[in-house]
Structure 1
Amino acid sequence: MQWLIVIHVVSAIIGIGPTFFGHILFRRRQQEEQLRQSLALFQLLNLFPKIGGSIAVVSGVVLVSLSGWKFSDLWIWISLVLYVLIQVVAVGLLTPVVNQLKQVLDGEEERSTAMDVSTSAAMLLTKANRLYNTASFLGFVLILLMIIKPM
């Protein structure tokens, strides 16, 4: 059972951890080339929540099955809901914003002036940061819940 706990904790850290890097990747006042590098890193870091998060959920379900906890326990439901919300924010909402930002930088969207590009990129960057703040907050609550769960 100890090895399963280790797998669960490590995969959770790997799965939620990259959420906290978004604030660095999508910081304001970056040069265009820096932002392009940040977008490339985002694509790479995006693999970790998918893999680590999936392993964390599976190992968590196995842990609940093998321990004295019940799937009807409120903290388990809250944890699962938080995980789903993080996925919705990170994958469902943030990824399209990042793709739009990439399109703006690549010049694929219609634009009339350079000012429109920087304004559009700044708005998308602000939106991405808000979504990252939301995902980070939910991740922090999830980690806190895992630490102080009922014994």
Structure 2
Amino acid sequence: MEWLVVIHVMSAIIGIGPTFFGHILFRKRQQEEQLRQSLALFQTLNYFPKIGGSIAVVSGVALVVLSDWEFSDLWIWISLVLYVLIQVVAVGMLGPVMSQLMKILNGGDERPAAMDTSTNKTALLTKANRLYNTASFLGIVLFILMIVKPM
């Protein structure tokens, strides 16, 4: 059972941890090449929430089954809802914003004027940072809930 707790805690840290790097990756005053590198790192870091988060959920369910906790406990439901919200924000909402940002950086047939590109880039970076703030806040609440859960 102790190993299962270790697996659960480590996978939660690994799964949610990358959301705390977004604030560094997507600074507003980056040159295009720096932003391209940040986007590449985002793509790599995006695997961690998918894999680590999935392991955290499976190990968490196993912990509930193997312990005296019940699935009807409110803190378990709140934890699951927070996890789903983090996934929706970090993967479902942030991914499309990053795709739009990549399209702007890569240009293409319909590349807007330089002023519009800069404005769109700034707006997308602002939106990405708001989403990262939201995911980070939810992650902190989730970690606090896991630490102070009712015994």
TM-score range, shorter chain: over 0.9
* In 1: Cα distance, 2:118 partner to 2:97 partner: 15
* Amino acid aligned to 2:115: M
For this pair of structures, how many residues does the alignment match? 151
Aligned to 1:132: 132
Q: How far did 1:28 drift? A: 1.0
CA offset digits 1:99-125 (Å, max 9, x no partner): 000000000372341111111110001
- Secondary structure at 2:27 match in 1: coil
2:59 matches 1:52: no
Note if 1:5 corresponds to 2:11. no
Contact 1:103/1:109 (8 A) holds in 2: no
CA pair 3-37 structure 1, distance change in 2 beyond 3 A: same
1:50-73 C-alpha deviation (Å, 9 max, x unpaired)? 000000000000000000100000
The answer for unaligned runs of 5 or more in structure 1 is: none
TM-score of the pair, normalised by structure 1: 0.98
TM-score scaled by length of structure 2: 0.98
Q: Which residue of 1 aligns with 2:39?
A: 39
Q: Once superposed, what is the RMSD of the aligned Cα atoms? A: 0.8
Given the superposition, is the C-alpha separation of residues 109 and 44 from structure 1 closer, same or farther in structure 2, using an over 3 Å criterion? farther
Separation in structure 2 between the aligned mates of residue 109 and residue 54 of structure 1, nearest angstrom:
39
> 5+ residue gaps in structure 2?
none
- Partner of 2:21, secondary structure, is helix
Partner Cα separation in structure 2 for residue 120 and residue 70 of structure 1: 48
Distance 1:145 1:99 in 2: 33
Aligned to 1:86: 86
Confirm whether residue 69 of structure 1 aligns to residue 75 of structure 2.
no
Alignment deviations for residues 34-65 of structure 1 (CA, whole Å, 9 cap, x no partner): 00000000000000000000000000000000
After superposing on structure 2, the runs of 4+ consecutive aligned residues of structure 1 that deviate more than 3 Å are none
